[in-house]
Amino acid sequence: MAQIGYAALLLTLIAGVYSAVIVVWGRQRRSAEMIESGKRGMVAAAVLCSISVLSLLYLVLTNDFRYQYVYETTSTFQPLAYHISALWQGQSGSILFWLWTLSLLSLFFILLKRNAIQPEFPYEIAILAALEAFFALLLLAAANPFAPAVEAYTEGFGGNPLLENPGMIYHPPTVLIGYAATAIPFAAIMGRLLAGMTADAAWLRNLRPWVLLSWLLLGVGILLGAQWAYVELGWGGYWAWDPVENASLIPWLINTAFLHALIMQERRGMFKLWNAILASATFLLCIFATWVTRGGAVRSVHAFGASSVGDFFLGGLIVLTIFSVWVIVTHRKQLKSDFEIQALGSREAAFLYTTLLFVAAAGLVLLGTVFPALSEAITGQQIAWGAESFDQITRILTPFLLVLLGVCPILGWRRTEGSKLLQSLLIPIAVALIAAAGVILLSGGPTYAALAFGLVSFVAVTILAEFYEGWRLRLRKGEGPLRALLHLITYSHRRYGGYLVHLGVLLMVIGITGQSLYQTSQQVALNRGESVTVGSYKLQYVDSGTEDSAAKRRFHASLQVYRNGQPQFSLEPERNYHYNVEQWVTEIALRSNLAEDLYVMLLGLEDNGLATFEILINPLISWLWLGGVVVLLGTVLAVLPLGRRSASPAV
Amino acid sequence: MSAPEVNPLEKSRSPRIKLFIALAVVALAVGYLIVSSVRETSAYYMTINELQAAGPAVQNKKLRVAGTLVENSAQWNPQKLMLNFTLTDKGNQQLPVSYKGARPDMFKDGTEVIVEGTYTNGDFQASNLLLKCPSKYQDATTSQAQK
């Protein structure tokens, strides 16, 4: 079975190289048959990748310890779901998964173009085929998932217990598919340039769903990772600004900039050069992110030492960067703007500010991540940005983001009339001031909280006003209220999907701000029967115990939680010792509602029953996850082909 | 009488310059805020050797030191929530560290630890512990931030 998987991988390499060569040659010779052959090569590559992945899945599910990968990621007592997730848990498995996803997405992209073969088609195939060949080569040469085991193993290592969490099932594949999907806009834009063409509105409209796909998957993947960290790692937070985390965030930020600049190119023929650069940067930064995570590039607790996998990614990154720069520079004539920004207060200008903001944010996260290496190279002294450094930068940039979110729908194309602007801003600003005052009065909270929540209210009002205005217009035309709302959303679904996404972002900002500014925590050591009061909760330590199993020794304590003197619920945090990795793993106890999370960790359990707890109250954090769901829904709404095109132009 | 024609080049230059100036002003203001925040919150990386050599010179600076946990040096006081341990590195110098807070999970002998905090009188007071997770490439930080 492993031989089949390995052979399929080898054939994928051959298919990729073949397709890339034959389509370029076919383009030169103007031979439709050759290009068609290249297309079939891509079909073959997708099928072969699938065979390879299925082989690995088979090995993993049958616990075939003759292969090193299976030994490292599975064990006989591992639950089925984690057997499956073993497919993407290890180094080589995850790269194979990435390759497989890339082959499927590329195939889908190519097949969808069946009826509209355009000049860039051979170049798009060539680029995607070359990328697939690259990944196949990397796997064969440096990360073979079918490599034989180093010893004769009878039991698997079982993977890390920290990874036995539902998060392992949905976070890595989502991020990996997001990474793979960034290759499509890259290939499309580079292909279009190589074909000597410029991108028209219809072409860009067709590209947008692919950009949204990678944006959504990568964004949701990152959020899932944060949620996983929150419930699994047990330190009360969800984002530590670790280099590995940052590495995935940077391409997502650039992708957000790209998404918005793309809208401008579609509507006004502007930002063409920006988009060529941003499309390439998004894709290249995903490769960079992988290099950082696997290759030991940046000094961090996650530097796993330079390996040849890292060298491959670095080599690929350099080659692809040179390629992108070369294509853009030699075809820059096709990237001239059709339109210039006319006024600082115009919608076009606002999109420019948005693009700059996200690029700046990405740049800053990148700078902070490489700062130790950079500062050492320049001054000889390594200086590291802490999590607080990044948090501070986020706090500085967030108000700008919120202002742009709120003001942009109000701004006019070309320029905005001062009086109109003021009129539209009156109510939102008034609401914002009331909200800000409310925050100060109700919580006595920091000024920043008033600023943040005030601006959030401001944006919420302007977005809801957009819904209201559009709805009212339809009512005037005689439509019934429910129908009007439905038609509004479905006919202009890209615009209202976008607004819904922005509302989701607002919810996330509320969650992030609440948790970061209003968190309370307490650490306490209790004997059985004793209790502690944190916030509005009284927690009483009732009992504790230990149990042994094949995988671990379990230490747990139970707490009865009271509110207003009434018993509400019980919590049972654990601290377990896993034998295979010889380490402790904390399992937190969590109780969530919309207002706050009660988060309890068992830090230690002594023989005499003395238990140490850390108790956290995280206000509003659920809004972060809810906001993510709203963003997801909004994106789906924006992407789905619904209804007929409306008279008013979609954004 | 027709109105005098406006030179199209002239007309488009004005918003562009205004744009550049406005953006530059904002960038400088934001840049200044960012630089001062980062200055306050960043830490100097030092090896144990450099730390002990520098001594009082780095008294109030925020520092980060990397080392491996010395065998059997970890002592956890559950009542006071104090963790004391010793780090060592390639130079075989030893650094005693005290940390008030939750004992991290992946804390075992030989683990690579990065401590962040201040150094006074030969003792390192850590406000933050960053541990290296042993798995292949997955992110699994247990940085326990002390407020």
Per DSSP, the residues of A429-462 read HHHHHHHHHHHHHHH---HHHHHHHHHHHHHHHH
Q: What is the pLDDT of residue A307?
A: 63
Interchain contact, B145 vs A612, CB within 8 Å: no
The H or E element spanning position A586 is strand A583-587
Q: Which among A217-226, B76-85, B118-127 has the top mean pLDDT?
A: A217-226
CB B62, CB B42: distance < 8 Å: yes
Look at residue A159 and tell me whether its pLDDT is greater than 70: no
pLDDT band at A277 (very low <50, low <70, confident <90, very high): very high
Chain mean position to CA A401? 19
Residue A522 CA neighbour count, 13 Å, CB half: 13
Q: Spell out which residues of chain A touch residue B114, defining contact as CB-CB under 8 Å.
A: 301
Q: What is the pLDDT of residue A224?
A: 94
- Tell me if residue A120 falls in helix, strand or coil: coil
A360-379 average pLDDT score? 92
Amino acid at A459: V
CB B107, CB B62: distance < 8 Å: no
Q: What is the pLDDT of residue A298?
A: 53
Look at residue A441 and tell me whether its pLDDT is greater than 80: yes
Give A281 to chain B, closest Cα distance, Å: 22
Q: ipTM higher than 0.85?
A: no
Interchain contact, A340 vs B15, CB within 8 Å: yes
Task: Classify residue A576 by its DSSP letter.
Answer: E
Look at residue B5 and tell me whether its pLDDT is greater than 80: no
Interface test with B, best of A164, A233, A313, A524 (most B CBs within 10 A): A233
pLDDT band at A299 (very low <50, low <70, confident <90, very high): very low
Task: Classify residue A332 by its DSSP letter.
Answer: G
Q: Spell out which residues of chain A touch residue B8, defining contact as CB-CB under 8 Å.
A: none
Torsion of CA A354, A356, A357, A363, to 10 degrees: 150
Q: What is the pLDDT of residue B139?
A: 31
Interchain contact, B134 vs A372, CB within 8 Å: no
Average pLDDT in chain A? 89
Look at residue A276 and tell me whether its pLDDT is greater than 60: yes
Token pair 């006081």: residue: B77
Specify the range with the lowest mean pLDDT, choosing from A287-296, A505-514, A572-581.
A287-296
Angle, CA A236 vertex, CA A235 and CA A240 arms, to 5°: 70
pLDDT in tens, A258-273: 999 999 999 889 999 9
pLDDT band at B30 (very low <50, low <70, confident <90, very high): very high
Q: Spell out which residues of chain A touch residue B38, defining contact as CB-CB under 8 Å.
A: 368, 385, 389, 392-393
Interatomic CA distance for residues A287 and A316, integer angstroms? 8
Q: What is the pLDDT of residue A297?
A: 55
Query: Which residue did the predictor score with more confidence, A221 or A650?
Result: A221
- Residues 6 or more apart in contact with residue B86 via CB below 8 angstroms: B69, B70, B73, B94, B95, B96, B97
Interchain contact, B143 vs A229, CB within 8 Å: no
Pick B42's closest partner by Cβ from A234, A344, A384.
Answer: A384
Q: What is the pLDDT of residue B105?
A: 74
The H or E element spanning position A593 is none
Interface test with A, best of B71, B138, B142, B143 (most A CBs within 10 A): B138
Interatomic CA distance for residues A607 and A611, integer angstroms? 9
Q: Spell out which residues of chain A touch residue B137, defining contact as CB-CB under 8 Å.
A: 91, 94, 293-294, 302, 304
pLDDT band at A238 (very low <50, low <70, confident <90, very high): very high
- Tell me if residue B120 falls in helix, strand or coil: strand
Provide the 10 A C-beta neighbour count for residue A58. Answer: 14
Q: Spell out which residues of chain A touch residue B105, defining contact as CB-CB under 8 Å.
A: 234, 583-586
Q: What is the pLDDT of residue B55?
A: 77
* Closest Cα in chain A to B50: A381
Look at residue A438 and tell me whether its pLDDT is greater than 50: yes
Tokens of A530: 């004793």
- Tell me if residue A610 falls in helix, strand or coil: coil
The H or E element spanning position B8 is helix B8-41
Q: What is the pLDDT of residue B102?
A: 75
pLDDT in tens, A592-642: 999 999 999 998 888 888 999 999 999 999 999 999 999 999 999 998 876
Q: Spell out which residues of chain A touch residue B45, defining contact as CB-CB under 8 Å.
A: 372, 376, 381-384
Interatomic CA distance for residues A232 and A379, integer angstroms? 39
Tokens of A447: 């000024």
Look at residue A237 and tell me whether its pLDDT is greater than 80: yes
pLDDT band at B56 (very low <50, low <70, confident <90, very high): confident
- Residues 6 or more apart in contact with residue A367 via CB below 8 angstroms: A374
B136-145 average pLDDT score? 31
Look at residue B100 and tell me whether its pLDDT is greater than 70: yes
Interchain contact, B137 vs A225, CB within 8 Å: no
